[in-house]
Amino acid sequence: MGTLDAVLADVGTQFGISGSKTSSLLSGLLSMIMETPGGLGGFLERFRSAGLSDLVSSWVGGTAPRPLSSSSLETAVGRDSIDRIASKAGVSFTTAASALSFMLPNLVQRLTPGGVIPSRIPNDILAYAGSATSAIAAGTREAAYAVERKVKSGSASWLWPVIAAALLLLLGYWFWNSREAVKNTAFNLSDQVRMATEKATAALAALKPGFSAQDLVNALNLNVMNFASGSAQIPPDSTDYLNRVAAAIKAAPSGTVLVISGHTDNTGDSASNMTLSQQRADAVRAYLVQQGVDPNMLTTRGFGDTKPVATNDTEEGKFRNRRIEFSLR
């Protein structure tokens, strides 16, 4: 059986939905994880921020992942995200929320052997991002298994050539499906920046009067600022977002002090990266002050390439590491 075939089968049985729909739900869940800034690590941080750290700890490399409720899933990822997945799968919101809540702990457990959160989704899991194709593959495999059982019983030895052909077709299917999954999930910097900005903007807009300083930090850290290589100039496409940030900070609780941290990838020498990261953090602070934020509410620090959140061996990893982070002092 494939890595997640058993989970898909359990979902189909428990919630009474077809294989193509369970595959579509899983595909949607994987897409949501991959679209989150920081990948799986960033996705799980959303659950920690929702007060579900104990649950997440039981999922990551655990032997007995604790179940997740539909309401907790909705709190962490938002109703709209679940609704989009439900629509694509052709199931009700309630069914999708319940099925996704069942899938997620098992998926995270399989993605984090030894308690290590990967920087990229492994190819054997990406193969399931092809939505209904997983169900087709499962049916193909079952047909091959049925033929093999007949041959072993001695009732149809002439079917050995059929088995060989079926296995070759199956191997070709999985090779093509995996290649397509990787191609379809290729890293696209502009898309990542756009999606992160949309999520952060929505999170800022959702802040209710009387929000806490930590609520503000959680929303701010959903965004990604894509500075040009070697530059500390605020990207033109980030100014509208920073205007919203300024408005939110001005509405923060009295006494709030935010630390703006600058980080780089490992391109270039460490000393230059440290300087550049400080300059970028200072540039963000200067822009916010220009928009009317009290300077006493903002402080900065540059970390250079000393605190990576992803590998520097890929362009995606370097992109994740080139970041501005907010925290509370």
Task: Looking at the structure, tell me whether residues 225 and 294 fall in a common domain.
Answer: yes
Residue 182, judged by CB atoms within 10 A of its CB (0-12, 13-18, 19+), counts as: middle
If asked whether residues 149 and 194 sit together in one domain, one would say: no
Band of the pLDDT at 153, cuts 50, 70, 90?
low
Q: Give the pair of three-digit tokens for residue 126.
A: 């990406």
Q: What is the number of other CB atoms lying within 10 angstroms of the CB of residue 120?
A: 18
Instruction: Report which listed range, 17-21, 134-138, 170-174, is most confident.
Output: 17-21
**Percent of the chain beyond pLDDT 90?**
34
Which of the residue ranges 63-72, 120-129, 253-262 would you say has the lowest mean pLDDT?
A: 120-129
Report yes or no: 257 and 247 within 8 Å, Cβ to Cβ. Answer: no
Lowest-pLDDT range of 1-5, 43-47, 121-125, 197-201: 1-5
Q: Are residues 265 and 249 in the same domain?
A: yes
Mean of pLDDT over the chain = 82
Q: Does 216 map to a domain?
A: yes
| 244 and 151 co-located in one domain | no
287-313 average pLDDT score: 93
What's the confidence (pLDDT) of residue 137? 47
What's the rounded mean pLDDT across residues 262-270?
90
The parent domain of residue 26 ranges over: 5-117
**pLDDT at residue 101, as a whole number:** 93
pLDDT greater than 90 at residue 297 = yes
Instruction: Note the pTM of the prediction, 2 decimals.
Output: 0.48
Residue range 37-52: average pLDDT? 90
Alpha carbons 140 and 15: distance in angstroms, whole number: 23
Residue 125 domain-assigned (yes or no): no
pLDDT at residue 160 in the model: 59
The reply to whether 277 and 148 lie within a common domain is no
| Structural domains of the chain, count | 3
pLDDT value for 98: 92
pLDDT of residue 131: 43
Does one domain contain both 9 and 110?
yes
Does 128 map to a domain? no
Residue 62, pLDDT above cutoff 70: yes
